[in-house]
Structure 1
Amino acid sequence: MKVRMACLCMMMSTAFVAHAQENTQDNLQGNGQTQSQQAGKWEEGFSGSAMLLFGVTQSNSQADSGDDTIGSLDEDGEKQTEGFVFPIASSDLSYTFTGGNHQVFIGTSNADIALGRPHLQVGYGQHIDQVGTIKLSYIPGLISSTTWQDPFLVGSKRHETDRTIKGARLQFSEILDTGLGLEFAAGKNEIDDELSGSQYSSQVQSQLDREGDLYYGELYYVTPVTETALIRSSFSYLRNQANGDAMASNQYTGQIALFQRYQQSTLTLSLKYQYAKFDESHPLFDKVQENDAVGLLATYTYDDIFGWQGVGVGVLAGFTEHLSNIDFYQYESWILGTGIRYVF
C-alpha cells in the first residue's frame, strides 16, 4: 500500500487519537464485562477490527507534494488537493490465550507513534496485574508512502519514489495501575531512489541524504476528569539520525487531547505543538533548519449505528500549520474524512 506523505502528516494525528481512544476506553465506560465473565485483561480467543477510511486532504508542501516541476527553490508551494482511501486504517486481528493476559496481534497501529505514519505491525502483549500492560512489536515496512526522489530538482520534472520504515517498538501502559505510559521505538528510514541534490556536487548530495535511523520515546499520562471524560497529555522525542548531516534532527512534541464519552459516541479534541532543530547548515539555503508546527484535530465516532452490533462510523477534521526558518519547508495542510469500522 502507498500513501501520499502530505496525507500521512495529518493521518498521524488522526491515528494517535484513535489509539488513545482505545487505550482509555476502559477508564471511560468499562469493557462491558464483569470480572466473573472475563478473567484477564482481554477476552479470550480471536478479536479484531476492520476500518475503511476515506476523505480529502490539501497541502502546499514543496518538500513532499506540490508541483512536480518547480522553477526555483524560493517558489511558494502550490496547493494540492487529493482524495484518499485507506482500506486497512485501524484494522487488526489478535488472539488472546487462556487467562486473558497474553495476546498476539497483527495489524495497523493506530498510534503511528513509532515513526509517525501508518504501519503494519506484528507483536505480543502481556498484562501483569498491578504492574501494567507490556507490548513488543515488529514493523516490517510493508506499507510504503511516496515522496520526491529529489525534492530540490529545479527546471525538470520531479519523480515520486517509495519511502518505507522498518523498526521495533516497546509499549508499557497503565504502569502500576495508573494512567502513566511509556513507549520506545527504533527503526530505519529507507527511500527506494534517494537522489536529493542530484543537480549539485557529491558533497552536497551526501549532506542531503534523508535515509538513516530513527529513535523515538514518549511519556504520557491519562487523567480522568469526570466519569465520562479524560485528558491525555504527552511529551515525545524523535531522533532522526539521517545519513546527511543537514537532514539529521532532534524533534520534540507536546500533545494534549480531551476525550468525552457519550452513551454511544465519543468526541475527541486534540492540540499538538512540535519543534525540530537540525544538526548542520542546509547546503542549499546556508542556514540550520528549525521548524515549528501546530496541529488541531477533532473527531466524532458513533458506535452500533442503526442497532448494528459492532458497526461504527466516524468523522474527522484537522489542520496543521508548519513554520520554518527556511521557506521551502513551510506549508499548511488540512484533512476532512469519514470512515466505517466493524469490531468483532
Structure 2
Amino acid sequence: MTTTQRLTTLLACTFPLLASAPSVANGNFDPLQPGFSGAIAVNVGVAGGSSQFNTDDDNATTKDLNNNGDSYVSAAPMILGRLQYSFGDTAIFIGNSPDQIAEAQFQAELGVVHRLYADNTLTVALFGNVPSVDETWEDPYLTGVDRDTSEQTVMGGRVALDLNVPIPVSVSYAIADSEIDDDDIGNSLALSASERSLLKRDSVFQRATLDVSIPVFANLSLTPGVQYTVRDADGSAQSHRDKAVQLAISSSLRRHSFTATFRASQTEYDEANPVFDRKRDSDNVGIFAVYNHMGLFSWQNAMFNLMAGYSESDSDITFYDTETFFVATGVGFRF
C-alpha cells in the first residue's frame, strides 16, 4: 500500500463519524427515516510513520532485514460519502457504516440495515477493496534492489446486531478473504520449498467483536469492548490469533462532540518465521480521537471535524515493527 493509500484509509475513518455525528448532536435524528439520505465529506490530512510494507518508491529498497523500513510523511485529500434509501424499518446503503468507527476502521460496503423490535437493529453487509488500490511487496525480503509490488484483493462480509437493552450492546462477526496476485515472498532467499510454504500470505480472516455502552452522565459515555481475530493463512508462519481490548470515551454538548478510543492487543503466531527463526508475536497499541462541530456556518446539516491517531506495533521481529500517525481535518454535509 502506498503512502497516499495509507493516508486515504486513515482519512476514510472520518466519514463514519460524520455520518453518526448528527445523531449525537440531535437526539431526534432517525437514521432509518423513510426516503433517500446520505452524507459527503471532504478531508485533508497528513500521515507518516515507518513500515517495511509501505510501498512508496522511497521505501522500495531495504539494505537488510534488520530494520523496519524508512520513515515517510505524506499529505492527501479525500472525498467520502454514503448513500442510503430507507423504507422505514429497512434501509439499503452503499458507503461507510457508523459502527465501524469504534475500531477506527474503514471499508466501503453494500448492505442492509433492518430495525427489529424496540429499536434493535441488524446489519448485513458485503465489502471489498477497490481494484488497483491495495498493494504489497511481491517479495518483502528482497534486499539491495527495488522491490516489485503486487495487488492485494480483499472480499468479505459482516453481520452486526445492536441491542437497545438498558445498557446498549453491540455484537458483530466478519469474515474476509485476502489474496495476493504475485506472492513471491522468500524467493530471494536460500529457503527450501517447505520453508517458503510457511510464508504464503493468502488468508481467511475472521473477527468477532463485543462492545458495551455505559452512560456515565447525560453527555458522557464509556464503551469498553473486546475483539478476537483469527487469520488462517496458507502459510502457518503467517497465521495468528489477535486478542484486543479497547475503551471509547464519548462526550457531546449542544453542537459539539468528542470521541477518543484507546486500544491494545496481543498477536500470537502459529509457527516461527523461517527467515528469522522466531515467531512474529507482537504487542500493539493505538489511540484515535475526533472532534465534531455540527451547524458549521449556521448550516444545520454542515459539520467540521478534526481528528488525530497514533498506532504502534512492537514485534519480536524488528522487520515487522510499525509506527503510524495522522492528523486530518475536513468539512461534511448531511442530506
- Taking structure 2 as the reference length, the TM-score comes to 0.89
2:197 counterpart residue number? 206
How many angstroms apart in 2 are the aligned matches of 1:117 and 1:192? Answer: 24
Q: Of 224, 229, 238, which aligns to 2:229?
A: 238
Deviations 1:136-185 (A, max 9, x none): 11114336423222211111101223223111100101244641110001
Q: Structure 2 matches for 1:215-226, cutoff 5 A?
A: 215-226=206-217
Distance in 2 between residues matched to 1:172 and 1:217, nearest whole Å: 12
Is 1:292 aligned to residue 283 of structure 2? yes
- The 2-side partners of 1:69 and 1:341 are apart by 39
1:179 to 159, 168, 171: 168
Q: How does 1:71-86 map to 2 (within 5 A)?
A: 71-86=63-78
Q: For the structure 1 residues 162 and 111, does the alpha-carbon distance in structure 2 shift closer, same or farther, using more than 3 Å as the test?
A: farther
Query: Which aligned pairs between 1:272-287 and structure 2 lie closer than 5 A?
Result: 272-287=263-278
Aligned-pair CA distance for 1:106: 0.9
User: Is the 8 Å Cα contact of residues 151 and 180 (structure 2) preserved in structure 1?
Assistant: yes
**1:63 Cα deviation after fit:** 3.1
Residue 138 of structure 2: aligned partner:
149
Gaps of 5+ in 2: none
Shift of 1:110: 4.6
Q: Does 1:130 align with 2:122?
A: no
Alpha-carbon spacing, 1:5–1:248, altered in 2? closer, same or farther (3 Å): farther
- Partner of residue 44, structure 2: 54
Match of 1:63 among 53, 75, 80: 53
Task: Please give the alpha-carbon distance, in whole angstroms, between the structure 2 residues aligned to 1:175 and 1:192.
Answer: 43
SS of alignment partner, residue 187 of structure 2:
coil
Residue 339 of structure 1 is matched in structure 2 by 330
> In structure 2, what residue type is equivalent to 1:92?
R
Q: Which moved more, 1:41-50 or 1:234-243?
A: 41-50
Matching of residues 188-199 of structure 1 within 5 Å? 188-199=177-188
Partners of 1:251 and 1:277 within 8 A in 2: yes
Give the match's secondary structure for 1:281: coil
- Secondary structure of 1:130's counterpart equals helix
Offset of 1:78 from its aligned partner? 1.7
Q: Which amino acid aligns with 2:230?
A: R
Q: Quick one: which of 82, 88, 93 aligns to 1:92?
A: 82
Q: How does 1:312-331 map to 2 (within 5 A)?
A: 312-331=303-322
Q: 1:64 to 1:172 in 2, by over 3 A?
A: same
Who is 2:299 aligned against? Answer: 308
Residue 269 of structure 1, CA deviation: 1.6
Deviation at 1:116, TM superposition (A): 8.1
Match of 1:32 in 2: 28
Q: 2:8·2:76 contact (CA, 8 Å) conserved in 1? A: no
How many residue pairs match? The answer is 330
Take 2:223 and 2:15, find their aligned partners in 1: how far apart are those partners? Answer: 11
State the 1:217 CA deviation: 0.5
- Structure 1 stretch 331-340 or stretch 106-115: which is displaced more? 106-115
Unaligned regions of 5+ residues in structure 1, if any?
none
Over the matched positions of the two proteins, sequence identity in percent amounts to: 24
Per the TM alignment, residue 85 of structure 1 is displaced from its structure 2 partner at its CA by 2.6
Asked if structure 2 preserves the Cα contact closer than 8 Å seen for 1:10 and 1:320, the reply is no
Structure-2 change in CA distance of 1:84 and 1:70 (3 Å): same
Task: Kindly provide the amino acid, as one letter, of the partner of residue 186 in structure 1.
Answer: I
Q: 1:316 to 1:170 in 2, by over 3 A?
A: same
State the TM-score, normalized to the length of structure 1. 0.87
Check whether the contact 1:119–1:142 (CA below 8 A) recurs between aligned residues: no
1:169 matched residue in structure 2: 158
| Per-residue deviation, 1:30 | 5.0
- What's the CA shift for 1:7? 3.7
The 3 A distance-change label for structure 1 pair 308 and 108 is same
Displacement, 1:10?
5.0
CA distance in structure 2 between the aligned counterparts of 1:175 and 1:339, rounded to whole angstroms: 31
Letter in 2 for 1:162: E
Q: Is the 8 A contact 2:102 2:261 kept in 1?
A: no
